């Protein structure tokens, strides 16, 4: 894990969803709010997005993955929420493959 880069920051939030109430939405929203209070721009998979991409069809899933990947690649760092098993989160695997730093949320909040 690294510290986030200095200056204006754009973060992509990643963390556990499966097995959590409401897919861990509260933790994602809380982290996004706290990071934004520090001046960061934050992409959270629980916020926004095109309503037409919601649903479980294969086409919608692939379109959503494309949107998420674009956001991840445009970010300065992927921020991992508590409870993340970083080695198993696809966003972390992709970030490492593309050279995007991966940072624990508490490290980002203290930077």
Q: What is the per-residue pLDDT for 67? A: 79
Q: What is the rounded average pLDDT for all residues in the chain? A: 84
Residue 28 lies in a domain: yes
Using an 8 Å Cβ cutoff, are 86 and 101 in contact? Answer: no
Which parts of the chain have pLDDT scores under 50? none
The CATH number that applies at residue 64 is 3.40.50.450
Q: Decide if 2 is inside a domain.
A: no
> Under 8 Å CB-to-CB from 60, ≥6 apart: which residues?
52, 53, 54
Q: Is residue 3 part of a domain?
A: no
Does residue 4 form part of some domain? no
Contact 103, 1 (CB under 8 A): yes
pLDDT score recorded for residue 29: 95
Residues 83 and 17 sit within 8 Å (Cβ to Cβ): no
At 4 the pLDDT is 58
Q: Is residue 5 part of a domain?
A: no
Contact between residue 2 and residue 95 where contact means Cβ atoms under 8 Å apart: no
For residue 89, the enclosing domain spans 10-110
Residue 37 lies in a domain: yes
Number of domains into which the chain is organized: 1
């Amino acid at each position: 894990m690294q510290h986030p880069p200095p200056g204006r920051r754009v973060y992509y939030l990643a963390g556990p969803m499966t097995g959590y109430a409401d897919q861990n939405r509260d933790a994602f929203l809380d982290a996004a709010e706290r990071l934004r209070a520090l001046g960061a721009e934050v992409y959270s998979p629980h916020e926004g997005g095109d309503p037409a991409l919601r649903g479980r069809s294969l086409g919608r899933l692939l379109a959503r993955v494309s949107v998420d990947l674009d956001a991840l690649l445009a970010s300065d760092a992927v921020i991992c929420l508590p409870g993340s098993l970083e080695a198993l989160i696809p966003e972390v695997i992709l970030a490492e493959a593309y050279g995007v730093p991966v940072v624990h949320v508490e490290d980002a909040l203290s930077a």
